[in-house]
């Protein structure tokens, strides 16, 4: 057995299951699950039509690079979305389809890190964080370094707090913007600071942007790593990789379709890894993905639904929870009136509403656990369920 497996912590939802073991919530209240970031809206019908029409394609092995039409559709979308008209992505050299960002965010570390280094390479990541980052670092033989994202710093990483000797050992930096679970978005100034650090110390920036299309002001979409690089004249996207998918954007989490784009040198090395890993997208998935990347109407409708949920839920919770509208994404990240595990356990026991303790998404580091005393609430259920959940949460908090 790989001895590094022993360093992996139980996944957040394993911890949640253990926390709730033995509880029988009130049967008269229907269950509402806001603990997992899985969109619950219907998949776009035109995407399902494209998927069905392409089913005969499963008679062929797919190419690891994906069909040229898919790479072209991804590049076209990214060039529009991130204002790359002056220096558009090259779909042949700078785009690679992946089977969802989860597998890609994990496997890219295995491809790019040298697990034989002494001392071990450092992989920096936000704290709290998507647990894949930590697991990817550990199984690649690297050491995680946790960049706390606290309210006093706008829930963005405090880069100045990282010692120079840690930066010198850093080979890969995970960034999540919009953040999971905080919803914080990095500014152009933040990106410029990250690029300067990357230039100085030589690490790769892996930017997880899977929540990029859930935002509240149609005139202010979140800035991505490629857009920020292009704005600063970094036209080769050196040491920059952007990861995105159709899961949140198009309500297609089960399609397992995304992409990585950026530095052509890194893409080529990662492609060589993936030819052995064997995660090529099936032809029907590729056809459905082409359809989804080519349409923005369903994405705007999706954002409108999320805006409606946030407006309703925040109105109900106003005055009872320390909660704010995030910059983007579909999570609320409130401070809890008692410790986060007790809050989530009792809320489930009394009201049959599931949310996730914040500490299950974070690690104690540098003398503090930035997830403790918070809860992640995913507003992914239909509007009526989100409203009902907010009313139950309010009733529970007022009873304390």
Residue 128: which of 397, 376, 355, 394 has the closest Cα?
A: 376
Residue 93: which of 280, 261, 301, 222 has the closest Cα?
A: 261
Coil/strand/helix, residue 392: helix
Contact by Cβ (8 Å): 146, 163: no
Q: What is the DSSP string of 288-346?
A: HHHHHHT--HHHHHHHHHHHHHHHHHHHHHTTTSB----SBSSEE-PBPSS-HHHHHHH
Q: What is the DSSP string of 342-363?
A: HHHHHHHHHH-EE-EEGGGG--
Q: How many CB atoms lie within 10 A of CB 321?
A: 21
Task: Give, for all 400 residues of the chain, the pLDDT tens digit.
Answer: 899 999 999 999 999 999 999 999 999 999 999 999 999 999 999 999 999 999 999 999 999 999 999 999 999 999 999 999 999 999 999 999 999 999 999 999 999 998 777 688 999 999 999 999 999 999 999 999 999 999 999 999 999 999 999 999 999 999 999 999 999 999 999 999 999 999 999 999 999 999 999 999 999 999 999 999 999 999 999 999 999 999 999 999 999 999 999 999 999 999 999 999 888 999 999 999 999 999 999 999 999 999 999 999 999 999 999 999 999 999 999 999 999 999 999 999 999 999 999 999 999 999 999 999 999 999 999 999 999 999 999 999 999 9
173-209 residues labelled b (16+ CB within 10 A) or e (exposed): bbbbbbbbbbbbbbbeebbeebbebbeebebbbbbbb
Residue 230: which of 72, 71, 73, 85 has the closest Cα?
A: 85
DSSP 121: P
pTM beyond 0.75: the answer is yes
Residue 250: which of 123, 14, 74 has the closest Cα?
A: 74
Residue 379: which of 263, 214, 222, 254 has the closest Cα?
A: 214
Domains of the chain are: 9-38+298-399 (3.90.1150.10), 49-295 (3.40.640.10)
């Amino acid at each position: 057995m790989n001895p590094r497996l022993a360093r992996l912590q139980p996944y957040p939802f394993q911890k949640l299951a253990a926390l709730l073991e033995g509880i029988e919530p009130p049967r008269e209240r229907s269950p509402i699950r806001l603990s997992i970031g899985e969109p619950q809206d219907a998949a776009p019908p035109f995407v399902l039509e494209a998927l069905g029409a392409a089913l005969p394609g499963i008679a062929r092995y797919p190419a690891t690079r994906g069909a040229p039409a898919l790479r072209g559709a991804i590049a076209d979308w990214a060039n529009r979305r991130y204002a790359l008209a002056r220096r558009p992505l090259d779909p042949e050299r700078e785009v690679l389809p992946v089977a969802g960002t989860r597998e890609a965010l994990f496997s890219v570390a295995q491809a790019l890190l040298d697990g034989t280094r002494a001392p071990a390479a450092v992989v920096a990541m936000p704290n709290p964080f998507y647990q894949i980052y930590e697991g990817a670092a550990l199984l690649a033989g690297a050491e995680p370094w946790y960049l706390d994202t606290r309210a006093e710093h706008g829930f963005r990483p405090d880069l100045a707090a990282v010692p120079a000797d840690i930066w010198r050992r850093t080979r890969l930096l995970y960034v999540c913007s919009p953040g999971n679970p905080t919803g914080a978005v990095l500014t152009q100034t933040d990106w410029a600071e990250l690029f300067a650090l990357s230039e100085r110390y030589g690490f790769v920036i892996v930017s997880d942007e899977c929540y990029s299309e859930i935002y509240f002001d149609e005139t202010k979409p979140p800035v991505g790593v490629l857009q920020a690089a292009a704005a600063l004249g970094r036209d080769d996207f050196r040491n920059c990789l952007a990861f995105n998918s159709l899961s949140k954007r198009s309500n297609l989490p089960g399609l397992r379709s995304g992409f990585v784009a950026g530095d052509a040198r890194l893409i080529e090395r990662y492609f060589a890894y993936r030819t052995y890993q064997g995660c090529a997208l099936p032809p029907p998935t590729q056809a459905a993905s082409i359809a989804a990347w080519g349409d923005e109407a369903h994405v705007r409708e999706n954002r409108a639904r999320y805006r409606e949920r946030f407006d309703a839920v925040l109105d109900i919770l106003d005055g009872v929870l320390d909660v704010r509208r995030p910059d983007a994404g579909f999570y609320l990240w409130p401070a809890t009136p008692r410790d986060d595990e007790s809050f989530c356990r009792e809320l489930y026991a009394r009201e049959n509403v599931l949310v996730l303790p914040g500490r299950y998404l974070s690690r104690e580091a540098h003398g503090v656990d930035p997830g403790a005393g918070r809860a992640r609430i995913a507003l992914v259920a239909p509007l009526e369920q989100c409203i009902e959940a907010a009313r139950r949460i309010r009733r529970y908090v007022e009873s304390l």
